């Protein structure tokens, strides 16, 4: 049986701005196994970041968690209990964001910042000695970086320093939110290969959030695909790539270049949040060539099909 470390069930989030309420995350579920690299993919603005932040108790102001629960290491809590989630997950979960260079303190040397993260972790360690170990883990030579300030190192090196800080607590789960977006392609690949190795060697699970499907496809075994605050399809990556079911997944895959079999790329038409607001619907309906009035009447539930879950009326059994 799968060894589930972290799961989200029915997470629903509204934004409330100027008295206007808008559902921006609509009943999403996913589960991550211990030690796996899991992909969460979708175009910009589809709700990946707010979903993951709310699932660890860090919903931003202006957002209201309406429903759902989050389980970590066997303990489940209602997602509305944001303070409880922070308490439950803060020891076992670390976060990594894009643009580490901007996130590091420009007035403190990078070794000091890793040392501080170790001291804050509350583990019984010798922080001075462990800083060196952590630098080695993230592939940096401590002697070359000791005493350097963030502006004196490259973007890729800063991302590795941020990773050393994130690893200081020995997390069971790392949520990496587009960690390579600000990097050049070579550094991006290097960092992702490194993350994949970390998963294997440390048995640490990673949720890799990305807007680029081809990136995730090289490193993750399973993934969820989000569109306008809804998960549209999730499951084994190879199965989904070989035979995408949801029209949005098909569109995303058709837009990925394939060097082995060059073909015409098909762009997805329309934007994520177009279409009618405030009704229960498949939120891909305004972009979907197969849409019928049924798709505007409700959000299709998850349908288990050939090793994955898909939310689309095309796969619903028609009652005899
Ligand atoms: N604090 C907030 N208050 C209200 N709306 C927000 C807030 N943060 C993000 N949003 C909205 O939620 C949607 C999803 O945002 P986000 O999770 O950042 O997308 P992604 O990470 O997939 O690019 C966007 O439409 C964004 O405008
Ligand atoms: S539910 Fe309807 S609109 Fe949504 S993807 Fe399926 S066919 Fe298209
Ligand atoms: Mg984001």
- Report the residue among 227, 246, 269, 285 best suited for mutation to probe ligand 2: largest number of ligand atoms under 8 A from its CB: 285
pLDDT attached to residue 48: 97
Ligand 3 centre from 95 Cα, in Å? 13
- Is ligand 2 within 6 A of the CB of residue 67? no
The residue with tokens 């970086």 is 145
What is the structure's pLDDT at 259?
Answer: 65
Q: What residues does each domain of the chain span? A: 4-92+171-237
39, 43, 48, 50: residue to mutate for ligand 1 pocket, most atoms within 8 A of CB: 50
SS (H, E, C) the chain: CCCEEEEEEEEEEEEEECCEEEEEEEEEEEEEECCCEEEEECCCCCCHHHHHHHHCCCCCCCEEEEEEEEEECCEEEECCCHHHHHHHHCCCEEEEECCHHHHCCCCCCHHHHHHHHHHHHCCCCCHHHHHHHHHHHCCCCHHHHCCCCHHHCCHHHHHHHHHHHHHCCCCCEEEEECCCCCCCHHHHHHHHHHHHHHHHHHCCEEEEEECCHHHHHHHCCEEEEEECCEEEEEEEHHHHHHCCCCHHHHHHHHCCCCCCCCCCCCCCCCCCCCCCCCCCCCCCHHHCCCCCHHHHHCCCCCEEECCEEECCHHHCCCCC
φ, ψ at 146 (rounded to 5°) = -60, 130
pLDDT at residue 215, as a whole number: 83
CA angle, residues 68, 23, 54, in degrees to nearest 5: 45
**From residue 278, how far is each of 63, 127, 195, 273, 299 by CA, in Å?**
16, 52, 39, 12, 12
Ligand 1 pocket (Cβ < 6 Å) reads 15, 17, 24, 42, 44-50, 60, 62-63, 273
Residue 153 is encoded by which pair of tokens?
């190192």
Please report which ligand is nearest the Cα atom of 314: 2
Closest atom of ligand 2 relative to the 300 alpha carbon:
1
Which pLDDT tens digits describe the chain residue by residue (320 residues)?
679 999 999 999 999 988 899 999 999 999 999 999 999 999 999 999 999 999 999 999 999 999 999 999 999 999 999 999 999 998 899 999 888 888 899 999 999 999 999 998 877 778 888 999 999 989 899 999 999 999 999 998 999 999 999 999 899 999 999 988 878 888 888 889 989 998 888 889 999 999 988 888 889 999 999 999 999 999 999 999 999 999 999 999 888 777 677 667 777 888 888 888 877 899 999 999 999 999 998 889 999 988 899 999 999 887 66
In which residue are the tokens 């019928």 written? Answer: 292
Residue 24 near residue 62 (C-beta atoms within 8 A): no
Give the model's pLDDT for residue 95: 94
How far does the centroid of ligand 2 lie from the alpha carbon of residue 232, in Å?
A: 10
Q: Which protein residues have their CB within 5 A of the ion that is ligand 3?
A: 49
Look at residue 11 in the predicted model and tell me its pLDDT.
98
For ligand 2, say whether the CB of 245 is within 6 Å of any of its atoms: no
Q: How many angstroms separate the alpha carbon of residue 268 from the centre of ligand 2?
A: 14
Domain 4-92+171-237 has CATH 3.40.630.10: no
Q: What is the pLDDT of residue 149?
A: 96
Ligand positioned closest to the Cα atom of 42 = 1
Tokens of 117: 């993260």
Closest CA to 115 of 97, 98, 134, 102: 134
How many angstroms separate the alpha carbon of residue 98 from the centre of ligand 3?
9
């Amino acid at each position: 049986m799968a060894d589930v470390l972290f799961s989200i069930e029915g997470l629903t989030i509204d934004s409330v701005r100027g008295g206007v309420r808008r559902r921006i995350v609509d009943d999403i579920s996913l589960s991550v196994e211990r030690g796996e690299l899991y992909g969460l993919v979708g175009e910009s603005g589809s709700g990946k970041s707010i979903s993951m932040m709310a699932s660890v108790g860090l919903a931003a102001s202006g957002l209201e968690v309406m429903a759902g629960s989050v389980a970590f290491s066997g303990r489940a809590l209602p997602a509305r209990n944001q303070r409880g989630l922070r308490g439950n997950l803060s020891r076992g979960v670390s976060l990594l964001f894009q643009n580490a260079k901007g996130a590091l303190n420009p007035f403190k040397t990078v070794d000091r910042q890793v040392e501080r993260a170790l001291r804050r972790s509350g583990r019984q360690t010798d922080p001075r000695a462990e800083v060196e170990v952590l630098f080695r883990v993230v592939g940096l030579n401590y002697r070359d970086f000791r005493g350097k300030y963030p502006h004196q190192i490259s973007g890729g090196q800063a991302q590795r320093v941020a990773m050393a800080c994130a690893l200081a607590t020995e997390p069971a789960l790392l949520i990496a939110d587009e960690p390579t977006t600000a990097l050049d392609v070579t550094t991006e690949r290097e960092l992702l290969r490194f993350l994949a190795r970390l998963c294997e060697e440390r048995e640490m699970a990673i949720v890799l959030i990305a807007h680029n499907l081809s990136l995730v496809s090289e490193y993750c075994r399973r993934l969820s695909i989000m569109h306008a605050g809804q998960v549209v399809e999730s499951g084994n990556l190879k199965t989904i790539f070989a035979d995408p079911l949801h029209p949005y997944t098909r569109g995303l895959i058709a837009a990925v270049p394939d060097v082995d079999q060059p073909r015409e790329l098909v762009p997805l038409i329309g934007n994520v949040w177009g279409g009618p607001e405030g009704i229960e619907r498949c939120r891909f309906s305004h972009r979907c060539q197969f849409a019928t009035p049924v798709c505007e009447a409700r959000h299709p539930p998850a349908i288990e099909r050939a090793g994955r879950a898909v939310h689309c009326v095309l796969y619903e059994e028609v009652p005899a």
